[in-house]
């Protein structure tokens, strides 16, 4: 039986789980980027770029409405922006952990200031708008988005099926969904990675962050997350079609993709 949603230790219901996750990520925001890059040996940058390229056909449309939800400090958002044309609609970057979102907003501001001069006729450099938003209750009208993406945040939702249903609600018919998330690889590589993930990673996280809870939560949350087959079934149940999973780096992570069915 797959988990219905994230349940940090000490929480008993969805409201408590959501609050615990929010507080957890607010607490580690100052060291979050450093820890991500150290713990993944910078492979996380490759994953974000690869995921962004998967949706190049949408990103290159200047009128496309795009949301990066559970954006954290905005690394996936930055990868998406690199594929947006001049003058394109801004990307919405949403998260409910304010400290994480504030750090993302700093990156977006630097990106805008550092964008090369494109000339008066080439249009404004692409940019992102940070919004404080809960993935389970998006402040967006139905059928308003062409693309929703999220990286390493979906696993932390208090209710996975409710999250997928909400994504389906705000996507236009024919709109696309991308969920980049950790998984547990099999075989010998999987066994070796499990040792690192459950023993070494929490120790490094505790050393750099000064807190043990968040980096003990990470491996436990991945272990409780639905396996790819179960996740794909949940996506189909929410009304999506063309559901697929593309493993990255021996299955340590992977990109789930789907589409809201177009109108007949």
Domain boundaries, the chain: 14-184+226-259
Q: Are 191 and 217 in contact (CB under 8 A)?
A: no
Q: Tell me: pLDDT of 201 over 80.
A: no
120-129, 170-179, 182-191, range with the lowest pLDDT: 120-129
Rg (CA), the chain: 18
Give tens-digit pLDDT for 57-108.
999 999 999 999 999 999 999 999 999 999 999 999 999 999 999 999 999 9
pTM: 0.93
Q: What is the CATH class of 14-184+226-259? A: alpha beta
Q: Tell me: pLDDT of 186 over 70.
A: yes
């Amino acid at each position: 039986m797959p988990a219905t949603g994230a349940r940090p230790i000490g929480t008993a219901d969805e409201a408590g789980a959501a609050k615990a996750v929010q507080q957890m990520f607010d607490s580690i925001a100052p060291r979050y980027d450093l820890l991500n890059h150290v713990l993944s040996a910078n492979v996380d940058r490759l994953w974000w770029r690869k995921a962004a390229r998967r949706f190049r056909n949408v990103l290159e449309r200047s009128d496309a409405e795009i949301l990066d939800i559970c954006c954290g400090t905005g690394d996936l958002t930055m990868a998406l922006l690199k594929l947006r044309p001049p003058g394109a609609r801004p990307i919405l970057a949403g998260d409910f952990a304010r400290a994480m979102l504030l750090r993302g907003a700093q990156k977006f501001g630097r990106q805008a200031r550092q964008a090369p001069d494109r000339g008066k006729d080439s249009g404004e450099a692409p940019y992102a708008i940070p919004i404080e938003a809960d993935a389970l209750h998006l402040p967006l009208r139905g059928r308003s988005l062409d693309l929703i993406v999220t990286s390493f945040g979906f696993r932390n939702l208090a209710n996975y099926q409710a999250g997928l249903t909400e994504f389906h609600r705000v996507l236009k018919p024919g709109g696309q969904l991308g969920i980049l998330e950790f998984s547990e690889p099999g075989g010998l590589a999987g066994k070796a990675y499990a040792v690192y993930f459950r023993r070494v990673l929490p120790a490094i996280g505790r050393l750099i962050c000064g807190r043990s809870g968040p980096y003990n939560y990470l491996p436990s949350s991945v272990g409780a997350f639905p396996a790819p087959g179960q996740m794909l079934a949940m996506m189909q149940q929410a009304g999506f079609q063309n559901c697929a999973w593309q493993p990255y780096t021996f299955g340590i992570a992977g990109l789930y993709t789907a589409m809201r069915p177009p109108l007949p």
